[in-house]
Structure 1
Amino acid sequence: MKTVQHNPTRGIYPATPDYIHALEVRQPNRILYVAGTMGLDAQGVPGKTLEAQLALVWSNLRTILASADMTVRNIVRITSYLRDAAYAEANQAARIAALDGHVVPTTALVAQTLVSDWLVEIEIIAAD
């Protein structure tokens, strides 16, 4: 698989260093669509704080990716669902730390989660 970043600088607002406008995936062997993943521990209990939930979300995503013999380097798209707009900065920081320099298209939305204790939900697409 080859990926090509498309990050035009003319005629569109600039992307920030932590995301790109588009990522072309050429000839992937496999594509993994991961459902919205919450910050729940192995017993299904949400982390008590936003930071705890973000750590659990990324741990859960790494576990799911590993089950498909993939890592965060295989992620080609991220969508975050935040219960409150005030969570955007913490979500961004957790994503940047989890991806460790890997930059992909990302979107964050403010939405009501199905359970009020769920503060963030993240879905990804990965490919290899």
Structure 2
Amino acid sequence: MEILTRNPSEGVYPATDDYVHALEVRGAQRLLFVAGTMGLDAQGVPGATLDDQLQLIWSNIRAILASAGMTVDNIVRLTSYLRDPSYADANAKARVAALGGRPVPTTALVAQTLVSEWLVEIEVIAAG
């Protein structure tokens, strides 16, 4: 599988260090679509703080990816749903750390979650 970054320098605003406009995936044989994943522990209890939930989310995503023989290196698209816009910086820092600084196309939206204790939900697409 080959992954090519597509960041045109003309006709669109510039990408940032932790963001790319697009990734072109060539030769992928599998796609994994991961549902919105919350910061819940193994008993379904949400983490007490935003940071706790972000750690749980990324732990849960790693476990889901591993079940398909993948890692965070296979993530090619990510969408974050934030309960409050003030969560954007912490979410971005957690994403950058989880991906080891590798930028992927990402979108963050502010949305009301189904349960008020769920502060962030993240869905990903992985290719392998």
Q: TM-score, normalised by structure 1?
A: 0.98
Q: Distance in 2 between matches of 1:52 and 1:9?
A: 37
How many Å separate the matches in 2 of 1:82 and 1:18? 18
| Counterpart residue identity of residue 65, structure 1 | L
State the AA in 2 paired with 1:120: V
Rounded to whole Å, the distance in 2 between the matches of 1:78 and 1:88 is 14
* Alpha-carbon distance, 1:101 to partner: 2.2
SS at match of 2:55: helix
Q: Secondary structure at the match of 1:37?
A: strand
Deviation at 1:9, TM superposition (A): 1.4
RMSD over aligned Cα atoms: 0.6
Give runs of aligned pairs for residues 1-128 of structure 1, distance below 5 A: 1-128=1-128
- Read off the aligned partner of 2:68 and give its amino acid letter: A
Where 2:80 maps in the other structure, the secondary structure is strand
Whole-Å Cα distance in 1 between the matches of residues 20 and 36 of structure 2? 21
Q: Which runs of 4+ in 1 moved over 4 A?
A: none
Q: Normalized against structure 2, the TM-score is what?
A: 0.98
2:114 aligned partner, one-letter code = L
Q: Which amino acid is the alignment partner of residue 26 of structure 2?
A: R
- Gaps of at least 5 residues in structure 2 are none
- Count of residues in correspondence between the two structures: 128
Amino acid at match of 2:13: Y
Which residue type is aligned with residue 60 of structure 1?
N
Gap regions ≥5 residues in structure 1? none
Residues 73-105 of structure 1, C-alpha deviation per residue, up to 9 Å, x if partnerless? 000000000000000000000000000022110
* Alpha-carbon distance between aligned partners in 1 of 2:114 and 2:43, rounded to the nearest angstrom: 18
